[in-house]
Amino acid sequence: MWSKIVAFFMSVIAFFSSLFGGGGGKPAEKYKEYLNQSYGPDSLQTYDLYVPTDRGDTPGLILYIHGGAWTSGDKASYRSVIKDIAVNRGYAAASVNYRFLSQNVTMDDILADVNAAANAIYDRAKTDGFTLLKMIAAGSSAGAHLALMYAYHTPADAKIQPVAVCSQCAPTDLSDPNFYADGMVFQNNYLQLVTSVVGQNATNETLAQYTARYSPVTYAAAAVPTVIAHGQRDNVVPYSNAVTLDAALTANGVKHLFITYPNSGHALENDADCAERFYEAFAAYAAAYLS
C-alpha cells in the first residue's frame, strides 16, 4: 500500500529542485550548513538547515516537510533543494524528519515534532547571529498536510511565525467520503489508515467526529495565504479535498491560489503549464511574505 505513496514522494523531488533553481551561483562561503541536527532523543528527530550569510541577519525561512503517508520518507531528499535556495535565492531553508505513525506515535506527536524542529532551527540560527522570524511551510501529500496543520494551527510556543503555505496534493479533510470511492488506493483500508492518524477506535459513523481535529480545513478561519496544487485524477487523496479547502478559504476571506492539474494524478505527472504556475506562485509568495 505504502509503495505507491513513496513512489509519489520521490517523484516530486525533481519538482522542488527546479522551484528556485537557476539563479546565479554564489561562492560556497556565502552560506552556513547544519546537517543531521538533532531536536529530540529519537533518531528520526533531525533536521537539515542552510542559512545564507549575505542576506543580513533576518532571512526568511522556507521549511519543507517530506511526504510518505506519515510512515516513510526522508528529509535528505530535499537537501540539494534547500542548499540551492540558500545559495542562490537568499532565504534560509530547512527540511525536517519526524517520527512515523505507529502504536507508540500519534499524529499529535508528529505535529509536536514539526514545532520542536522549527523551534530548534530558530535556536540554531540565533546562536550564529541569524534571526528567523517568518517562514513559508511547504510539502507534498502527507508533508503538505503537516505544513497546512502547522501553518493554520500554529502552537502558542512557536518561535517562527508561518506567513504562508504551499501545498501539493494534501489531505485536507480526512472525513471526505470520496476516499472510499472506486479506484482509490485506500478504498478498502482507509478506515484503518485514519484510525492510525486520529488514534481512536474510529468507525464509519464516528469518523467525521474524530477526524475534524486533524483536518486542515477545520482551521481555515485562522489560515495564512496558501497555494494549493492538486491533480483532478488523484486516486490517493481525492481532488474533492482541495475543492473543500478552496471553498473554506474563500468563505473566510483568506488569500489563496488554487491550481488544478486536470490531467494529473497524485504525482502531478502531467500539466506542465500548471506546474509552471505553481513554481511562479511559490516564488511570488516567498518574495511577498518573507521580505
Q: CATH number of the domain at 14, please.
A: 3.40.50.1820
Which position has the grid cell 514545532?
Answer: 115
Q: Indicate the Cα dihedral angle 204, 171, 145, 87, nearest 10°.
A: 160
41-60 residues labelled b (16+ CB within 10 A) or e (exposed): eeeebbbbbbbbbebeeebb
Q: What is the mean pLDDT of residues 216-233?
A: 98
Q: Residue 37 phi/psi, 5° resolution?
A: -80, 135
**H or E element: which one contains 95?**
strand 92-96
Which residue, among 181, 123, 176, 117, has the nearest Cα to 143 in the 3D structure? Answer: 117
Q: What is the mean pLDDT of residues 138-148?
A: 96
Query: From CA 154, how far away is CA 282, in angstroms rounded?
Result: 21
Predicted local distance difference test score (pLDDT) of residue 56: 77
Query: From CA 232, how far away is CA 239, in angstroms rounded?
Result: 5
Which position has the grid cell 546565479?
Answer: 24
Phi-psi region of 226 (alpha: psi -120 to 50; beta: other; left: phi over 0): beta
User: At residue 43, does pLDDT exceed 90?
Assistant: yes
CB 95 within 8 A of CB 64: yes
Alpha helices in 12-130 (DSSP H): 13-17, 79-84, 107-127
pLDDT tens, residue by residue, 68-109: 999 999 999 899 999 999 999 999 999 999 999 988 999 999
Predicted local distance difference test score (pLDDT) of residue 2: 45
Interior angle at CA 79, CA 75 and CA 82, nearest 5? 110
pLDDT tens, residue by residue, 168-198: 999 999 989 899 899 999 888 887 778 778 7
User: Domain tally for the chain?
Assistant: 1
3-class secondary structure per residue, 133-162: CEEEEEEECHHHHHHHHHHHCCCCCCCCEE
Residues of the chain above pLDDT 90, percent: 73
User: At residue 206, does pLDDT exceed 60?
Assistant: yes
In this structure, the strands spanning 92-96 and 46-52 are: antiparallel
Predicted local distance difference test score (pLDDT) of residue 221: 98
Query: From CA 31, how far away is CA 83, in angstroms rounded?
Result: 9
Domain that holds residue 106: 2-289
